[in-house]
Structure 1
Amino acid sequence: MAAWSDSATVQGGTFTTGTLDLKIGTPPVDNNPPQFTTDFAMSNMRPGSTTDAVLKVTNSGSMPFGFTATASATNSGAGADQLGSALTLKAYSNSSSGSCTGEPVSTGNTAADFALPPQQLAVAATQNLCFRATLPTNAAAALQGKSSVITLTFTAK
Structure 2
Amino acid sequence: MLCLGIFAAPAAVGTMAYWTDEATIESGTFTAGTLDLTVGGTVADSNYLPGPGGTYEYSTLTIADLLPGESIARPFVVRNFGTTRFIYNGSVYTTNNALAASGTEGGLQVAIYAGGTPTNAATQTTGYRSGSCAGGNLLKNQEVSTSTSTVKVSPADISLAPGATQVHCVVVLLDLTAPNALQGARTQLIVKLDAKQVGAP
- Give the aligned residue type for 1:47: P
DSSP 3-state at the match of 1:106? strand
Q: 1:19 to 1:65 in 2, by over 3 A?
A: same
Q: Which runs of 5+ in 2 are unaligned?
A: 1-23, 102-106, 120-131, 197-201
Could you say which residue in structure 2 is the equivalent of 1:74? 95
Q: Which runs of 5+ in 1 are unaligned?
A: 1-8, 76-80
Could you say which residue in structure 2 is the equivalent of 1:116? 153
Q: How far is the alpha carbon of 1:15 from its aligned partner?
A: 4.8
DSSP 3-state at the match of 1:148? coil
Kindly report structure 1 stretches of 4+ aligned residues shifted beyond 6 Å.
9-13
Find the partner of 1:87 among 83, 99, 108: 108
Q: How far is the alpha carbon of 1:74 from its aligned partner?
A: 1.3
DSSP 3-state at the match of 2:188? strand
Q: How far is the alpha carbon of 1:94 from its aligned partner?
A: 2.7
Higher helix share: 1
Alignment of 1:43-82 (within 5 A): 43-75=64-96, 82=98
- Give the aligned residue type for 2:91: T
Aligned-residue identity in percent: 28
Could you say which residue in structure 1 is the equivalent of 2:178? 139
Separation of aligned partners in 2, 1:92 and 1:71: 13
Higher strand share: 1
Q: How many residues align?
A: 143
Q: Please identify, of 106-115 and 88-97, the stretch whose mean Cα deviation from structure 2 is larger.
A: 106-115
- TM-score, with length taken from structure 1: 0.78
Q: How far is the alpha carbon of 1:84 from its aligned partner?
A: 4.2
Could you say which residue in structure 2 is the equivalent of 1:130? 169
Could you say which residue in structure 2 is the equivalent of 1:100? 133
Could you say which residue in structure 1 is the equivalent of 2:63? 42
Q: How far is the alpha carbon of 1:16 from its aligned partner?
A: 3.7
Separation of aligned partners in 1, 2:116 and 2:138: 11
| Residue pair 2:110, 2:173 contacting (<8 A) in 1 also | yes
Q: How far is the alpha carbon of 1:43 from its aligned partner?
A: 0.5
Q: In the alignment, is residue 19 of structure 1 matched against residue 56 of structure 2?
A: no
